[in-house]
Structure 1
Amino acid sequence: MSENLRLPWADLFPTPVGEEDAPAPPTRSAPGRRGRRPLSAWPSPSEPPPWQSWRLLVYGPDAAMDGFVVQAAGPGLIPWPFDAERVEEDVFALAIGPHGPARGRRGLSVEGCRILARQFRAAAEVRHARLTMRGTDSCPLDFHRLVPVPERIIALGATHPDARAWLRANWGLVESPVQVRILPGLKAGRRLPRGHRAIVYGFFTRNGAPDPVIRRLEEHYPTLVFRLTERSLA
């Protein structure tokens, strides 16, 4: 499977309207007319929610905070290699394969599978172009800037087992956080000494907690305090 094959709904994450808004877990729709089963099974109650909402409070001396804010900002992505032709090939193989839609009772024809693959390729190219157009400091808390993924790992591709293992060990995640933003008006919850200040970041992650990143930050910035808290999605 190509590291570039990313289904269109893979980037669908909730967009909060206000600071307190958070994505709600999916609920089953009411019984209605019969139709096809969804492409993915609903998670069982014992499974963790795919999306988690976090706040990261950082505070400390002004000079150290200035350095951290500059170092933390970046484009907010991992520069994985991109191969549009491989994307098209993989989607076609999925569609035409023994478990693809072409094998269903009303499945796609071979030409239909080729059209679908070309459409996926076009969508992947648009997504890649959109990501590469991000500003160099468009994300205020870029994990790749703070805990860089080595070039040898990036060269493997996003879906390679060794790449995912490295990310799990060093980030606690297998992909960058999304909707990273600074939450204005929030404070440390305590009176800080003169010459100190606080900043609060909000972001979402999928299927993982960024605890390894926080531990690394505590090591690299000993004069700063980091407090990570999970926000309920209920």
Structure 2
Amino acid sequence: MSENLRLPWADLFPAPAQAEEAPASPPRRAPGRRGRRPLSAWPSPSGPPAWQAWRLLVYGPDAAMDDFVAQAAGPGLIPWPFDAERVEEDVFALAIGPHGSGRGARGLSVEGCRILARQFRAAAETRHARLTLRAADSCPLDFHRLVPVPERIVSLGATHPDARAWLRANWGIVEAPVQVRILPGLKAGRRLPRGHRATVYGFFARNGAPDPVIRRLEEHYPALVFRLTERSLA
């Protein structure tokens, strides 16, 4: 699978869980076209991505905080290589199926699979262009700015085993956090000395905990205190 192939729903995190009650009687299905299955009939994913909400409290002297805030801001992404042609090839291979029998996995013709692949390529190019237009300081807590991914690792691509191993060892997660923001109004939870202040960051990450990043920050900013806590998604 190409490191450039990223489905439109890849960045979504699960909505808060809600209690469900069984209906008194089975709901009636709305009439639809003959021969077309409703969305509910398609196979369900194996499970939701393991997203976790996090808060990072940072506090300390004003001068050290000024330095950290300036250093932490960035575009909030890893500059993985992008190959639109490879994206199209990968999607076509997925659509046509493992045997290349002339019909796609969902009954698409070869031409239909090619059209689907071109549509995904166009969507991937649009997404990549949107990401490259991000402001240099649009993300207030950019892990790539704080613990940079070496160029030799970036050049491997996001799905390469060595790249994922490096990220797991140095970030604790294998992709950049999403929806990173400063949470206004939240404080350190204690009275700080004069000339000190606190900032609280909120973000989502999945399939791991960014503890290695926090340890690096504690080493690099000894005048500051870092407190990472999980937040329930329920």
Output the TM-score relative to the length of structure 1: 0.87
Matched, 1:41 2:33: no
Distance of 1:127 and 1:28 partners within structure 2 = 35
Distance of 2:4 and 2:108 partners within structure 1 = 23
Q: Percent identity?
A: 84
Aligned to 1:169: 169
Instruction: Give CA-to-partner distance per residue, 1:166-200, whole Å, 9 cap, x none.
Output: 00000011110000000001000000001100000
Matched, 1:98 2:90: no
Aligned to 1:18: none
Higher Cα radius of gyration:
2
Distance of 2:166 and 2:126 partners within structure 1 = 28
Output the TM-score relative to the length of structure 2: 0.87
Instruction: Give CA-to-partner distance per residue, 1:9-58, whole Å, 9 cap, x none.
Output: 112236xxxxxxxx325888977657423351236xxxxx6110000000
Matched, 1:24 2:16: yes
> Judging changes above 3 Å, is the alpha-carbon distance between structure 1 residues 29 and 203 closer, same or farther for their aligned structure 2 residues?
farther
Count of residue pairs brought into register by the alignment: 220
> Judging changes above 3 Å, is the alpha-carbon distance between structure 1 residues 37 and 180 closer, same or farther for their aligned structure 2 residues?
same
Matched residue SS, 1:203:
strand
Instruction: Give CA-to-partner distance per residue, 1:59-102, whole Å, 9 cap, x none.
Output: 00000000000000000000000000000000001111228994
Aligned to 1:137: 137
Structure 2 counterpart of 1:37, one-letter code: W
Q: Unaligned 5+ residue runs, structure 1?
A: 15-22, 44-48
Distance of 1:28 and 1:125 partners within structure 2 = 39
Matched residue SS, 1:9:
coil
Instruction: Give CA-to-partner distance per residue, 1:131-161, whole Å, 9 cap, x none.
Output: 0000000000000000000000000000000
Instruction: Give CA-to-partner distance per residue, 1:206-229, whole Å, 9 cap, x none.
Output: 111100000000000001000000
Distance of 1:110 and 1:27 partners within structure 2 = 43
CA RMSD across the alignment: 2.3
Matched residue SS, 2:139:
coil
Distance of 2:225 and 2:103 partners within structure 1 = 55
Distance of 1:91 and 1:27 partners within structure 2 = 37
Structure 1 counterpart of 2:77, one-letter code: L
Aligned to 2:85: 85
Matched, 1:223 2:223: yes
